[in-house]
Amino acid sequence: MLQCRRAHVRAVLPHDALQSHRPTLLNVPGFISHLYWNKTDPSLLCCMKVVFNFCYIWKNGHAAPILYAAWAEAGFVKEADLINLRKIDSDLEGHPTPKLEFVDVATGSLGQGLGAACGMAYTGKHFDKSSYRVYCMMGDGECSEGAVWEAMAFGSHYNLDNLVAVIDANRLGQSEAAPLKHDMDVYRRRCEAFGWNTYVVDGHDVEELCKALWQAQQVKGKPTMIVAKTFKGRGLKGIENTDNWHGKPLPKDRAEEAIKDLESQIQNPNKTICPELPNEDTAPADLSPITLPSPPNYKIGDKVATRKAYGVALAKLGQSSPRVVALDADMKNSTFSEMFHKAYPERFVECFIAEQNMVSVAIGCATRDRTVAFASTFAAFLSRAYDHIRMAAVSESNINLAGSHCGVSIGEDGPSQMALEDIAMFRAIPTCTLFYPSDGVSTERSVELAANTKGICFLRITRPELKVIYDPKEKFEVGVAKVLRQSDSDQVTVIGAGVTLHEALTAADQLASEGVNIRVIDPFTIKPLDAATIVSSARATGGRIITVEDHYREGGLGEAVLSAVGEEPGIMVTRLAVNRIPRSGKPQELLDLYGISAKHIANAVRQTFAN
């Protein structure tokens, strides 16, 4: 409790108007004191992400100062740095991020922390087979997020008894009371209904918290939820348990009053407590490059769907490295991740139809470089998880997402299943590499490259079978395009990817029979895009470019090309794309209907001369 009080004092030291949310800081120091002085090896402070240290996700992002204060008390953060909280030259940001060595996952977007904690706990229990435990601190307000309950279902389904979550039930949300207020019995019954071992405690009673945390370690086969009844602004007259203090700083006199009161409770400021040391029972990760054990086994002219080639490559990578793991959202027989599941069932995580949680679990699995995680589902359904993907970038996460069934080329299933926004979605993520392979060979190499690429990787894979156009020995690089048709008399550069690349090749054959030659480019990666190849090709073809994509016009391949050539004089880009919400139909019918088939490409080429 001594360290708790001292950290508590340090948390309320800053009283700049921007450094707010102080009433929240008075809810949770007891939990922090138990973890940071009973579960952390101080000799490891210089490398807090060593795998055998406990894992802790702080979802009460606004209460970050108490986290920073705890680390200051432990000696990892200088007390003087606390005064720089939230300033532009300080890494002590308004919500914790992995810029700090002791933060695994960025927080601030509510409802996501428990899913990441589930991924970390699953990794510890099933992949590392280690004794480290995972703790997740949550707010009561965020329990309205559906992602919380997706994670709750996941945690109990997989018996994650190395996972403890704590709900800080302080009754108050941002603008009014949280739905359940202080109805602790309802909290208990809901958590128990989701299969969690549940304790309801006084969140201000450190001994009661410690007892619950100790009891949680004795429970086998279930994760534990501790519902801690707390009062926001505890001990501050006129502020405790009152509305409208969210995001507001304490007046200077009230802050000084709180500090004085807290300091009076420290009976022996020089006393030290020796923490319980973690077990060093987890091997360090092998971070050497991961390569396909054999080249792609296709012949030019063979037909294979890129989604199937994804499954083949994933299973092959699993042979190369035990760090490779796969996750899916009950689509493994469509994404072909089932091939990995059949080969390595112990490294496959079925996340069921809960795409948000799948992404967060993947983030958790990938922390501390424990795994190389590939998560797959229909690309359309990844849009549901976009906020989780956005936060994965903030978390500096290295995860690989494969989205199948892209565009109208999926056919009869209709628009609800057609990913037509996904390129735009992933292009907007700063740390994302976007692969768009067009045959089996390039798909397998995309998977191999993704496994070794930092940041978020998105692989756009398609349903129809496509002809193999590359030799198995072909080399691929991130950001390097392939020029598939080229002559000295090319008059237009046509850029397509996936299905539309094959339509462009068909159009090239049709036009060649008319005496018109076009240059055809496979971009391979949409982000980064090979601007140099595109610009040089455009210069060689009279400045004329046509892009064709099985995607909406907004944010897709065409706009990526426009961005690449926007400052180049004399280059004109014509874009062919899906321009309205589509309907069901046969794949070729839909390509024709929405103007992205070979026929429309050939017409667009002819039109460039007519203009």
d(CA 333, CA 464) in angstroms, rounded, equals: 15
CB atoms within 10 A of CB 369: 14
Our CA angle for 312, 313, 318, nearest 5°, is 100
**Residues labelled catalytic:** 355
Classify residue 505 as exposed, middle or buried by CB count within 10 Å of its CB (0-12, 13-18, 19+): buried
DSSP characters for 310-366?
A: HHHHHHHHHHH-TTEEEEESS-HHHHSTHHHHHH-GGGEEE--S-HHHHHHHHHHHH
Q: Is the dihedral of CA 313, 318, 323, 329 positive or negative?
A: positive
Please count the CA atoms within 13 angstroms of the CA of 488 that sit on its side-chain side. 0
State the Cα torsion 566-568-574-576 to the nearest 10°. -50
In 3D, which of 83, 82, 87, 63 has the Cα closest to residue 71?
82
CA distance 428 to 398: 17
Tell me how far the alpha carbon of residue 240 is from its chain's centroid. 36
What residues have CB less than 8 Å from 432, skipping those under 6 apart? 393, 426, 455, 456, 457, 458, 527
Determine how many CB atoms are found less than 10 A away from the CB of residue 146: 12
Match 């534990």 to its residue by tokens.
Answer: 224
Pair 430, 443: CB distance under 8 Å: no
